[in-house]
């Protein structure tokens, strides 16, 4: 180790630097002076700069009190509607309009938008009445917009004594749970058609409240036409369902008033031959945060055929005027995106439009079809319904009929979303939704060609060679059509044609469960097609599922095949807790399938017909017999 170097301090070392130099003293004094000046010297207050906030379009505050709204607008009748396809809403608006003819004022209301516990306050309004136009969705369920009202009805403990109310239930007799929601709202509901019900309704109301009809039989307008000569086109609706520019700036969550704009990534023809066009479409939902389960439905918002829109515009002299629909929009946008111009017009539309027919015979014909007389009903059935005349056909076949386009837009019902059973599993395909549909196109009695709005619109949503993907406004509606909680439960699926759609999702999910090592019960499919070599949908995929053992039995469905497998089916149902699923036509197929199961229960199970019917009704109650059917 080296010795440390030690040296004696020199004179230079012993002369230490001063702790504070004169420069330091100067700087310290300057800082102290500035601080004293800042805190103690009086000075003029400086205005604080104002940052101008960004002002967006003012959003109207939603009124949740229908009582206050009725008081502000001097209404004494409120018509609530439970509507899935728009019919209930249309009937509610018709009643609200009719009230004026009886010296009363009505308003249509969506129960989802109001506090329904306020029904107990309705008696605050003299001669008040609540009317419920309630449709039924699926197997006796309330419609989406009436679900909260239904829940409230089940748990409500408010005092509704003294509430004046009436109910009109909308239903389709082809469904097992026909009119269930209307019956629940009023147990004594009579099964009458709307026109007959309405003709009895108003006289009863007049007698109850001691009022008389005003005698006014003229057209009653609900909306005022406002002409905008100088409009910022960024503030004009061009197909959005709710929020302006919602298609340009997409924001979740997505629902019926805020659909997601999904890209079409696949659009291929499924059938190998025949005159029909059956298609498989895939929608990309990658960035949407939308989740779905097997058995759910996808709703798509179609647009009307551009040629039909153009011809209506030509017939009525369409101009560039703006129509407040939703508010504001152009006539062309209203006819393209918002109005149902393809279906047959209802009698109230014919009645309102009759005044614009210059030919007395044509005017009389329209008024007769709008009446409740037997002759009028027969004429309407034959000339409008059976001949499938839409509003364009009516205008063309009644040459003197030239209504103002703004009144026509007011009368036509809203173009509704179309629902399709999803043909994929969200667990297997989390980023895409698959649709299986058949294009509707056939000749009518008038020599015209009827084209389904949504299916023809979807058919044309083709992916271009350059990779450009068209878009589809959509959202997912939850369903009760679900696989059993235990994968080990057997499933029996029956679905002809496009009724196979939800079962593709079921089978994909059962395949995934099998891959995950779970015990998967028997999976049996009865699939119906017209010609096996033409429209055996998803043939390659189904045969592969059968080869790998996921699909334990694949039957190309004809009616007798259920009875041919009667012993096996009864054992699966009665002993092994199998779940039965039926998807397709409610009018014929679903009833025939039920009848076949009743026969099996009688023949193999030894039940009487009454016992067999009760047996399968109990399975429905337990969720072991599910139907996803349409009429």
Question: Pick the catalytic residue: 294, 421, 425, 479?
Answer: 421
The answer, yes or no, to whether residue 41 has pLDDT greater than 60, is: no
pLDDT in tens, 414-435: 899 999 999 999 999 999 999 9
Question: Pick the catalytic residue: 98, 340, 535, 628?
Answer: 628
The answer, yes or no, to whether residue 502 has pLDDT greater than 50, is: yes
User: Where in the chain are the domains?
Assistant: 66-209, 261-302+417-477, 304-411, 491-629
- d(C-alpha 527, C-alpha 557), whole Å: 5
**What's the average model confidence in pLDDT over 375-395?**
96
pLDDT in tens, 124-170: 999 999 999 988 876 677 888 888 898 888 887 777 888 899 988 88
Q: Give the least confident one: 42-46, 189-193, 374-378.
A: 189-193
Question: Is 630 one of the catalytic residues?
Answer: yes
- d(C-alpha 291, C-alpha 5), whole Å: 80
In 10 A of CB 83, how many CB atoms? 23
Q: Evaluate whether 181 touches 167 at the Cβ level (below 8 Å).
A: no
Q: Evaluate whether 619 touches 575 at the Cβ level (below 8 Å).
A: no
How sure is the predictor about 37, in pLDDT bands with cuts at 50, 70 and 90?
low
Q: Does domain 261-302+417-477 have CATH number 2.40.30.10?
A: yes
Q: How much is the pLDDT for 156? A: 73
How sure is the predictor about 10, in pLDDT bands with cuts at 50, 70 and 90?
very low
The answer, yes or no, to whether residue 8 has pLDDT greater than 60, is: no
Q: Is 49 exposed, middle or buried (0-12, 13-18, 19+ CB in 10 A)?
A: exposed
How sure is the predictor about 345, in pLDDT bands with cuts at 50, 70 and 90?
very high
Q: How much is the pLDDT for 220? A: 62
**What's the average model confidence in pLDDT over 38-43?**
50
Question: Is 628 one of the catalytic residues?
Answer: yes
User: Regarding the domain delimited by 304-411, which CATH topology (the fold level of the hierarchy) does it fall under?
Assistant: NADPH-cytochrome p450 Reductase; Chain A, domain 3 (1.20.990)
Q: Give the least confident one: 207-211, 497-501, 610-614.
A: 207-211
Per the model's pLDDT, the better-predicted residue between 259 and 184 turns out to be 259
Question: Is 457 one of the catalytic residues?
Answer: no
Question: Pick the catalytic residue: 333, 436, 583, 626?
Answer: 583
Q: Which two tokens stand for residue 161?
A: 């004594």
Q: How much is the pLDDT for 190? A: 33
**What's the average model confidence in pLDDT over 7-20?**
42
pLDDT in tens, 198-242: 778 888 888 888 888 776 655 566 656 666 666 666 666 777 766
- d(C-alpha 581, C-alpha 480), whole Å: 11
Question: Is 406 one of the catalytic residues?
Answer: no
How sure is the predictor about 179, in pLDDT bands with cuts at 50, 70 and 90?
very low
Coil vs helix vs strand at 584: strand
Cα torsion angle, 80, 85, 87, 89, sign = positive
Question: Pick the catalytic residue: 197, 202, 570, 630?
Answer: 630
Q: Evaluate whether 104 touches 76 at the Cβ level (below 8 Å).
A: yes
Q: Does domain 66-209 have CATH number 1.10.10.60?
A: no
Q: How much is the pLDDT for 214? A: 72
Which residues are registered as beta bridge partners of 54? none
To the nearest whole percent, how much of the chain has pLDDT over 70? Answer: 79
Q: How many CA atoms lie within 13 A of 554 on its CB side?
A: 21
Q: How much is the pLDDT for 45? A: 46
Strands 165-170, 260-269: pairing is unpaired
Mean pLDDT, all residues of the chain: 83
Residues in the chain: 631
Question: Of all helices (H) and strands (E), which one includes residue 306?
Answer: helix 306-316
Q: How much is the pLDDT for 525? A: 96
Q: Evaluate whether 108 touches 93 at the Cβ level (below 8 Å).
A: yes
The answer, yes or no, to whether residue 351 has pLDDT greater than 60, is: yes
Whether 66-209 shares its CATH topology with 491-629 is answered yes
In 10 A of CB 243, how many CB atoms? 13
Q: Is 108 exposed, middle or buried (0-12, 13-18, 19+ CB in 10 A)?
A: buried
User: Regarding the domain delimited by 491-629, which CATH topology (the fold level of the hierarchy) does it fall under?
Assistant: Rossmann fold (3.40.50)
pTM: 0.76
């Amino acid at each position: 180790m080296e010795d440390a170097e030690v040296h004696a301090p020199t004179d230079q070392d012993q002369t230490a630097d001063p702790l504070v130099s004169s420069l330091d003293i100067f700087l310290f004094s300057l800082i102290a002076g500035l601080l004293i000046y800042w805190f103690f010297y009086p000075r003029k207050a400086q205005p604080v700069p104002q940052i101008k906030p960004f002002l967006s379009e003012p959003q109207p505050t939603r009124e949740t009190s229908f009582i206050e709204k009725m008081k502000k607008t001097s209404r004494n009748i409120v018509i609530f509607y439970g509507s899935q396809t728009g019919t209930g809403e249309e009937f509610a608006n018709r009643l609200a309009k009719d009230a004026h003819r009886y010296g009363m004022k009505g308003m249509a209301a969506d129960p989802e938008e109001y506090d329904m516990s306020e029904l107990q306050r309705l008696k605050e309004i003299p001669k008040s009445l609540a009317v419920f136009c309630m449709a039924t969705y699926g197997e006796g369920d309330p419609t989406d917009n009436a679900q909260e009202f239904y829940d409230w009805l089940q748990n409500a403990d408010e005092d509704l004594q003294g509430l004046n109310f009436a109910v009109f239930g909308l239903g389709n007799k082809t469904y097992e749970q026909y009119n269930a929601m209307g019956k629940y709202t009023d147990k004594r509901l009579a099964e009458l058609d709307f026109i007959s019900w309405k003709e009895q309704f108003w006289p009863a109301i007049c007698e109850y409240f001691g009022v008389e009809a005003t005698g006014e039989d003229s057209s009653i307008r609900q909306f005022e036409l406002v002409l905008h000569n100088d409009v910022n086109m960024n503030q004009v609706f061009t197909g959005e369902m709710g929020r302006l520019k919602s298609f340009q700036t997409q924001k979740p969550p997505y629902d019926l008033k805020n659909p997601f704009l999904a890209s079409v990534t696949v659009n291929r023809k499924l059938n190998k031959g025949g005159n029909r066009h059956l298609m498989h479409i895939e929608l990309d939902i990658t960035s949407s945060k939308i989740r779905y389960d097997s058995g759910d439905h996808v709703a798509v918002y179609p647009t009307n055929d551009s040629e039909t829109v153009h011809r209506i515009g030509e017939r009525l002299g369409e101009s560039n005027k703006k129509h407040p629909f939703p508010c504001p929009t152009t006539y062309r946008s209203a006819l393209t995106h918002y109005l149902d111009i393809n279906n047959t017009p209802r009698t109230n539309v014919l009645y309102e439009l009759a005044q614009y027919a210059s030919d007395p015979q044509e005017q009389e014909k329209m008024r007769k079809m709008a009446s409740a007389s037997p002759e009028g009903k027969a004429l309407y059935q034959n000339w409008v319904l059976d001949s499938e005349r839409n509003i364009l056909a009516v205008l063309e076949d009644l040459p003197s009929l030239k209504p103002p386009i703004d009144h026509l837009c007011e009368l036509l019902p809203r173009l509704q979303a179309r629902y399709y059973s999803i043909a994929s599993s969200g667990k297997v395909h989390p980023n895409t939704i698959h649709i299986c549909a058949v294009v509707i196109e056939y000749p009518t009695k008038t020599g015209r060609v009827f084209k389904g709005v949504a299916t023809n619109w979807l058919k044309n949503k083709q992916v271009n060679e350059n990779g450009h993907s068209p878009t589809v406004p959509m959202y997912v509606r939850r369903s009760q059509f679900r696989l059993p909680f235990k994968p080990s439960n057997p499933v029996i699926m029956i679905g002809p044609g496009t009724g196979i759609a939800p079962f593709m999702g079921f089978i994909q999910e059962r395949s995934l469960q099998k891959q995950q090592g779970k015990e998967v019960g028997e999976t049996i499919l009865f699939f119906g097609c017209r010609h096996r070599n033409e429209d055996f949908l998803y043939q390659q995929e189904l045969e592969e599922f059968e080869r790998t053992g996921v699909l334990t039995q694949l039957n190309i469905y004809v009616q007798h095949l259920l009875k041919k497998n009667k012993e096996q089916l009864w054992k699966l149902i009665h002993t092994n807790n199998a779940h039965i699923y039926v998807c397709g036509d409610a009018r014929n197929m679903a009833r025939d399938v039920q009848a076949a199961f009743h026969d099996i229960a009688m023949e193999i199970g030894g039940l009487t017909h009454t016992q067999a019917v009760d047996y399968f009704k109990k399975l429905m109650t337990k969720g072991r017999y599910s139907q996803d059917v349409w009429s």
